[in-house]
A and B are shown apart, each in its own frame.
Chain A
Amino acid sequence: MSIKVIHGKKEHTVDDDSTTVEGVLDRIGVNPETVIVEMEDEIVSLGKAVVDGDKLNLINVVSGG
């Protein structure tokens, strides 16, 4: 199982048994409080199931100035 994650300029590939968006964020060490997650241009909740080949786009929401 392989999930691709785009987070700003960073790109991660998660190869393991994560079954939800929240699980994927945990694997790459991103606090769910700090991002909104999109899959195929739709915003999804942390509980959304992920399957092999899914691509997540993370949008930072914490302010910096």
Chain B
Amino acid sequence: MRDKDNITERQGNKCWKCGDPAVIHRKYEGKSWCSEHFTEQFESLVKGTIRENDLFESDDKVCVALSGGMDSSALLFFLSDLFKDWRNADLFALAIDEGIEDYRDESIEIAEELCRDLGVDLHIASFKEAFGKTLDEIMEDKEYGCTYCGVLRRWLLNRKSRELGATKLATGHNMDDELQSIFMNYLRGNMNRMVRLGAKPAVLDNEKFIPRVKPFRDTPEREIALYGRLRGIDLHQTECPYVDNSLRFDVRDFLNDMEAKRPSTKYTSLRAFDKLLPALQNMFSGDDSSVKECDFCGEITSGDICKTCQLREKI
């Protein structure tokens, strides 16, 4: 028998609380969990992130950025349950249709079905409507789809959620996304960008900016997928044809290898960053004063013309 097989002998395959068959063995804490106790504990951890970071007010109007992928679908599921007890709060979903054939149309169908099941209003905003072209059309004579897609999508999410009256924009960003961003910013020397990280990134002092919140930010991607699966959410497995995240993927694979070899690497790295974050925020706190409104579209920007309007010129 090799080392990798020893887990059964050491820790068993039973929930440490009730003895039922386990659905997960978390090496970083040395415990196995059955579906019921994992789900219960997962939800209580996310509630902890929400409480500790004051992510929501009791009268918030929360817009969930829903892609139809597992993270945002599981987030909508979780929040729709949580908000049942919040009488003055409101929840709705916003999906961005970039116009990517055989990819986004499938995930939007999943989003529509989920919203129907949960009784949550879904709004869809498309690139075609906002910018006159789908991403497929934009990419006919261009490279690096993610550059266009990311900038245009952020712009549209902010504008549309504001038009719909949102006071918060909740995204499905998870622990893995957050760590990848931390390491990528570090590798690129973009220390000032790190102040935008955290469960409740620093709010820009402008009423046009809808504050972002990330309730799953302290939760590993794999556990969100497991939670979603146990809650009966469809997992959209198709990969975007334009995906070009070479550095992000290198960092992702590095972190997953480290976690497999040295369990708890992800937690330790995130907690270390959390200790650094206040110092980084202090160091770069002057940067917000440069927030202006774009000469063309009126959305917030650090220069005279926002990135979206600069890209619009080229599409």
Chain A residues with CB under 8 Å of chain B are 8, 17-20, 22-23, 25-26, 31-36, 42-49, 59-65
Contact = CB atoms under 8 A, between A and B. Distances in A.
Interface in B214-231: 220-222, 225-226, 229-230
B2 A23 contact: yes
16 contacts: A8-B237, A17-B1, A19-B8, A34-B222, A36-B222, A36-B226, A36-B229, A44-B13, A45-B23, A45-B32, A46-B25, A48-B22, A59-B225, A61-B235, A63-B221, A65-B243
B301 interface: no
Contacts, number: 102
A59 B236 CA distance: 11
A45 B252 contact: no
A33 B240 contact: no
B252 A62 contact: yes
Contact of B4 (A20, A42, A63, A64): A20
The bracket for how many chain B residues form the interface is 35 or more
Nearest to B32: A45
B256 interface: yes
Most buried by A among B5, B23, B25, B35: B5
B112 interface: no
A33 B266 CA distance: 11
B239 to A, nearest CB: 4
A32 B260 CA distance: 7
A45 to B, nearest CB: 4
Contacts of B69: 63
A64 B21 CA distance: 31
A59 B71 CA distance: 15
Given A31-B257, A59-B229, A47 B22 contact: yes
